[in-house]
């Protein structure tokens, strides 16, 4: 017993010593880090007026950074400036400065063993638009141990930097990519590549397809309206719903007959999106159908129908009439709610 | 006899230590990877409304006339593209409603409320004329869970979050907590964030300006405890979708799933219980959904500074833990619920819930052995050593983990104080909390039959 007790005591004491050593190491590091941060701050103050003049007027000579604190100070400042000062000239000067001074430093950071550092470098490259590192980024993408987080960011940058093979890259992305990832990549893509993506729509996986439809609406890509219209005929309701949603986003007017089909759909989401489009367009000729939908069995459809009515030229009067005379209590309630919302806005 | 008891305590603790070590390593790897990642860049894209999902923030209020203004005001300035604030006045008997009416210029409104969850009667609904995204529901008293359910019925957005009156939310809290949900195309149905202790920090206008450590030993110990629980436990468990019960946390839930699960229930810890129920629902419907946890501190809460208040809090938490576990006892060791039934449930039951009993037993054994003297002294030393490992060492490790990865404390002296205080944990703080938690068990056992009485508890702590 006492032997094992002594052994156990030794284990505890050893662990305590280890913890204490780590503690001392961390404290020393914290002190160093504190000094380093102060140094960065000092440089930032020094560089600020100079960098500002350079970005705003382009007539300032910038001293090249030499220590890592100087690099960090300059990059952080620059990143801050382009966030608050949005303007083509400034963007151009930023890129020029970054291409001259930061490329080597950023390249080194891309190979850092810690993911956090590598990601930060990628964010900087994107913000500064340093295209000359594109080859480096390609190599990084091809590496075996690249994480999904990096892959997402890299693809976004390939799209933004108009990489000639962005389309091919997209064809081979892994399953783990989500619609949200696709949307972000698509949002940076040039029109030519985007159109190519749409042309081969049915070759993509579902997530990419949905992202494509959504982005047409979000980015108001009117060139693809006819594509959306073909989707409206598709037998799969999710396509129709998303296409209607995108059309509503763009407030594109559809013919009455076409809209009526969707307003009478069996799928409530489809009715909802068709109503949303009616609300955006103020289509007067469909009033009877919309009024009928005030009695829909789905709450959100009723609510959207009421909103569509409200948006019409004499919307308030129509809602008033429904509130008073409708034979459906749900329709009356909904009309009352939207009447009040309509009056608030006046 | 004493030898047998001492050995039991020893092996129990060693098993727990092994499990904790596993969690510590998982957390360390996880946190270290993201070390130094920019604080803003990953969230920038979420400010665009077309990509983000809107959130309804629910603020249940029962007799909170003093604090309600500050809470709502801090929420009005959070950074998120689209959200609404729904204050639910749960039949307060003080001037909570009057205060809200006056401060935010409320007018009564007509709104069709979908009765998706049954609640006490809603008397009136108000909107603010100053802030178009602020609403107040006035309802009959029904307890916090009932108030939250009423808020869910009223809310118009797909995600809900409940906030207590005594917390300060970081301005970017929702961006951080919603990120996993958006990133995963809504495969994540609940997402929680770290809670930290606000005592000692500088807070202005509902925002934490400077993070610092309180002078009060009792608060320092609680800071360590939170670090340990959130950094080690939660991250380790979340990594494998094993996270179950979170006391006093901050979380966003998918409204659709909360409604499917039946809304909030009348238990001591509504949030804790809801998380268990969601996990259960996921397993029972075979859905491919997840519950995750974000290590960034997003919510600052005021910790009790007196022994009396802390004791009350711990008793209540432990009773809440028991209720959540007992309600879902069918999941215990049940292979049908996969890793939740076989790992998480047993972990919370044996380690979190029964752990304090074993620990208390250990402390008693130490005292008895010391009194008996002679050969029994060895048991006393052994048990003391193992409890140092169990208590102090893991807390010290958690403090180091914080400093190595998240690094929120800015001064060396704060870190040093945290480290040396955690060394003393086994000597005073740990036995105290163990005792209080055991009291919580006694509370739970005595009131087991009648927890329906809890209904009228009201909202405030």
- Mean of pLDDT values over B28-49: 82
The mean pLDDT value of chain A amounts to 92
* Cβ–Cβ < 8 Å for B302, B164: no
Best of A8, A205, A303 to substitute, by most chain B Cβ atoms within 10 angstroms, is: A8
Whether B185 and A207 lie within 8 Å, measured CB to CB: yes
Residue B50 forms contact with A (CB below 8 Å): yes
- With an 8 Å Cβ cutoff, are B385 and A16 in contact? no
Any domain includes B346: no
- Compute the average pLDDT of residues B375-404: 90
As for how many domains chain B has, the answer is: 1
Do the bridges between strand B83-90 and strand B134-139 make them parallel or antiparallel, or are there none, so unpaired?
parallel
In a domain, B15, yes or no: no
- Asked, for residue B238, whether it belongs to a domain, the answer is no
Per residue in B51-80, is it b (16+ CB within 10 Å) or e — as a string? bbbbbbbbbbbbbbeeebbbbbebbeebeb
Q: Provide the pLDDT for residue A201.
A: 96
Q: How many CB atoms lie within 10 A of CB A215?
A: 24
Chain B residues with beta carbon closer than 8 angstroms to that of A333: 112
Q: Do B185 and A8 touch (CB under 8 A)?
A: no
CB pair distance less than 8 Å for B110 and A2:
no
Which residue has better confidence, B371 or B48?
B371
CA distance A190 to chain B (A): 18
- Read out DSSP for B222-285? HHHHHHIIIIIIIHHHHHTT-----TT-EEEEEHHHHHHTTS--SSS-HHHHHHHHHHHHHHHT
Q: How many CB pairs under 8 A join A and B?
A: 90
A265 touches chain B (CB under 8 A): no
pLDDT tens readout for residues B76-87 = 989 999 999 999
Contacts of B163 (CB under 8 A, 6+ apart): B57, B58, B59, B71, B75, B169, B250
Q: What is the mean pLDDT of residues B39-47?
A: 82
The answer for B 354-383 residues in CB contact with A (under 8 A) is 378, 381-382
Q: What is the pLDDT of residue B406?
A: 83
Expressed in angstroms, the distance from the first to the final Cα of chain B is 44
Cα dihedral A67/A73/A77/A80 (nearest 10) = 120
Read off the pLDDT of residues B220-245 as tens digits, 9 standing for 90 and up. Answer: 999 999 998 888 877 778 777 777 76
Q: Report the SS3 class of residue B289.
A: coil
CB-CB under 8 Å, A178 with B185: yes
Q: Say what the pLDDT of residue B246 is.
A: 61
pLDDT at B454 over 80: no
**Which chain B residues touch A180 with a CB distance below 8 Å?**
51, 182-185
Residue B406: which of A26, A54, A195, A22 has the closest Cα?
Answer: A26
Domain that holds residue B216: 40-226+246-306
- Provide CB contacts within 8 A for A202, sequence distance 6+: A209
Residue A144: CB atoms within 10 A of its CB come to: 4
| Backbone Cα Rg of chain B | 22
Q: B171 φ, ψ to 5°? A: -65, -30
Q: What is the pLDDT of residue A345?
A: 66
Chain centroid, CA B239 distance in Å: 17
Cβ distance of B114 and A299 shorter than 8 Å: yes
Contact B214, B200 (CB under 8 A): yes
Q: Side-chain half-sphere of B113: how many Cα atoms within 13 Å?
A: 24
- Both tokens assigned to A69: 């604190």
Q: Are B292 and B411 in contact (CB under 8 A)?
A: no
Which residues of chain B neighbour A218 with C-beta distances below 8 Å? Answer: 50
The residues in B 185-224 lying below 8 A from A, measured between CB atoms, are 185, 187
- Name the residue facing A31 among B397, B404, B412 (closest C-beta): B412
Contact A119, A150 (CB under 8 A): yes
Q: How far is A119 from chain B (nearest CA, A)?
A: 7
pLDDT in tens, B140-160: 999 999 999 999 999 999 999
pLDDT beyond 60 at B412: yes
Q: Are the C-beta atoms of B413 and B386 separated by less than 8 Å?
A: no
Q: What pLDDT does A100 receive?
A: 92
Q: Is the pLDDT of residue A66 over 50?
A: yes
Nearest by CB to A5, from B381, B403, B415: name it. B381
Q: Which residues of chain B lie closer than 8 angstroms to A19, CB-CB?
A: 393, 396-397, 400
Bigger pLDDT: B137 or A82?
A: B137
Residue contact A12–B385, C-beta within 8 A: yes
Domain harbouring B267, CATH code: 3.90.550.10
Report the pLDDT averaged over residues B201-208. 80
Query: For residue range A203-237, what is the model confidence (pLDDT) as tens digits?
Result: 999 999 999 999 999 999 999 999 999 999 999 99
Q: What is the mean pLDDT of residues B342-362?
A: 92
Q: In chain A, which among 190-249 make CB contacts under 8 A with chain B?
A: 207, 218
Q: Is the distance from CB of A137 to CB of A125 less than 8 angstroms?
A: yes
Whether A321 shows a pLDDT value over 50: the answer reads: yes
> Any chain B CB within 8 A of the CB of A267?
no
Among the partner residues B36, B382, B412, nearest to A8 by beta-carbon distance: B382
> Of how many residues is chain A composed?
346
Task: Evaluate whether residue B202 is within a structural domain.
Answer: yes
Q: What is the pLDDT of residue A205?
A: 94
User: What's the length of chain B?
Assistant: 461
Query: DSSP for B31-89?
Result: HHHTTT--SSHHHHGGGSTTTSPPEEEEEEESS-TTTHHHHHHHHHT---SSEEEEEEE
Q: What is the mean pLDDT of chain B?
A: 88
Q: Which of residues 74-133 of A touch B (CB under 8 A)?
A: 114-117, 119-120, 123
Calculate how close chain A gets to B186, using CA atoms only, in Å.
10
Is B145 inside a domain boundary? yes
Alpha-carbon distance of B396 to B76, in angstroms, equals 38
Position B455 pLDDT exceeds 60: no
B345: tokens are 């449930």
Say how far apart CA B313 and CA B318 lie, in whole Å. Answer: 9
Query: What is the ipTM for the molecules in this complex?
Result: 0.87
Residues in chain A with CB shorter than 8 Å from the CB of B381 are: 5, 9
């Amino acid at each position: 017993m006492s032997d094992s007790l002594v052994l156990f005591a030794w284990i505890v004491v050893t662990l305590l010593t280890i913890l204490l050593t780590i503690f001392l190491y961390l404290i020393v590091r914290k002190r160093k880090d504190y000094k380093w941060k102060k140094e960065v701050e000092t440089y930032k103050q020094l560089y600020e007026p100079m960098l500002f003049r350079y970005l705003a007027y382009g007539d300032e000579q910038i001293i090249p950074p030499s220590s890592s604190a100087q690099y960090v100070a300059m990059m952080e400042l620059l990143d801050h400036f382009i966030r608050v000062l949005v303007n083509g000239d400034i963007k151009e000067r930023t890129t020029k400065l970054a291409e001259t001074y930061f490329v080597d430093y950023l390249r080194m950071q891309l190979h850092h063993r810690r993911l956090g550092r590598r990601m930060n470098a990628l964010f900087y490259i994107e913000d500064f638009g340093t295209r000359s590192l594109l080859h480096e980024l390609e190599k990084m993408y091809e590496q075996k141990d690249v994480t999904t987080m990096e892959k997402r960011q890299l693809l976004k940058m390939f799209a933004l930097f108009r990489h000639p093979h962005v389309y091919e890259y997209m064809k081979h992305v892994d399953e783990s990519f989500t619609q949200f990832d696709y949307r972000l990549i698509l949002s940076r893509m040039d029109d030519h590549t985007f159109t190519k993506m749409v042309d081969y729509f049915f070759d993509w996986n579902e997530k990419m397809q949905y992202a494509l439809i959504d982005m047409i609406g979000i980015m108001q890509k009117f060139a693809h309206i006819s594509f959306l219209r073909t989707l409206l005929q598709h037998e799969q309701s999710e396509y129709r719903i998303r296409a209607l949603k995108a059309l509503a986003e763009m407030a594109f007017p559809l013919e009455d007959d076409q809209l009526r089909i969707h307003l009478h759909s069996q799928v409530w989401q489809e009715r909802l999106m068709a109503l949303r489009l009616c609300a955006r367009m103020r289509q007067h000729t469909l009033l009877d159908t919309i009024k009928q939908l005030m009695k829909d069995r789905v709450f959100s459809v009723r609510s959207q129908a009421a909103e569509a009515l409200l948006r019409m030229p004499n919307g308030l009067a129509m809602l008033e009439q429904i509130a008073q005379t409708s034979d459906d209590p749900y329709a009356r309630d909904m009309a009352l709610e939207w009447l009040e919302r309509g009056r608030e806005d006046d | 006899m004493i030898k047998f008891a001492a050995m039991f305590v020893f092996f129990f603790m060693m098993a727990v230590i092994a499990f904790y070590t596993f969690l510590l390593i998982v957390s360390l790897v996880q946190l270290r990877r993201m070390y130094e990642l920019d604080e803003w860049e990953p969230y920038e894209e979420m400010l665009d409304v077309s990509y983000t999902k809107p959130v309804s923030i629910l603020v249940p209020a029962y007799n909170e006339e003093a604090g309600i203004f500050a809470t709502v005001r801090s929420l009005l300035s959070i950074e998120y593209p689209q959200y609404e604030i729904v204050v639910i006045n749960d039949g307060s008997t003080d001037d909570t409603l009057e205060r809200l009416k006056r401060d935010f210029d409320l007018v009564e409104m007509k709104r069709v409320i979908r009765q998706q969850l049954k609640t006490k009667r809603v008397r009136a609904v108000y909107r603010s004329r100053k802030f178009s995204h602020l609403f107040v529901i006035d309802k009959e008293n029904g307890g916090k869970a009932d108030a939250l359910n009423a808020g869910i019925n009223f809310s118009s957005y797909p995600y809900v979050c409940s906030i207590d009156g005594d917390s300060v939310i970081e301005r970017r809290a929702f961006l951080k907590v919603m990120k996993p949900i958006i990133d995963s195309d809504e495969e994540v149905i609940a997402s929680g964030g770290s809670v930290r202790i606000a005592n000692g920090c500088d807070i202005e206008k509902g925002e934490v300006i400077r993070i610092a450590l309180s002078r009060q030993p009792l608060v320092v110990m609680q800071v360590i405890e939170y670090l340990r629980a959130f950094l080690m436990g939660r991250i380790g468990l979340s990594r494998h979708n094993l996270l179950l019960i979170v006391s006093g946390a901050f979380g966003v839930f998918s409204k659709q799933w909360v409604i499917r699960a039946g809304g909030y229930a009348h238990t001591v810890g509504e949030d804790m219980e809801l998380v268990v129920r969601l996990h259960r629902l996921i397993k029972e419907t075979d859905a491919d959904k997840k519950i995750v946890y974000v290590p960034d501190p997003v919510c600052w809460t005021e910790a009790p500074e007196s022994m009396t208040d802390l004791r009350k809090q711990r008793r209540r938490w432990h009773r809440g833990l028991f209720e959540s576990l007992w309600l879902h006892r069918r999941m215990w060791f049940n292979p049908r619920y996969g890793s939740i039934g076989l790992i998480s449930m047993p972990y919370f039951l044996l380690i979190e819930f029964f752990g304090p009993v074993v620990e208390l037993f250990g402390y008693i054994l130490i005292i008895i052995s010391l009194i008996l003297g002679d050969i029994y002294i060895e048991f006393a030393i052994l048990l003391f050593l193992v409890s140092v490992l169990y208590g102090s060492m893991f807390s010290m490790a958690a403090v180091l983990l914080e400093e190595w990865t998240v690094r929120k404390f800015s001064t060396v002296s704060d870190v040093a104080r945290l480290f040396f205080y955690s060394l003393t944990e086994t000597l005073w703080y740990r036995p105290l909390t163990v005792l209080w938690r055991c009291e919580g068990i006694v509370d739970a056992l005595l009131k087991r039959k009648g927890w329906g009485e809890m209904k009228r508890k009201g909202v405030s702590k």
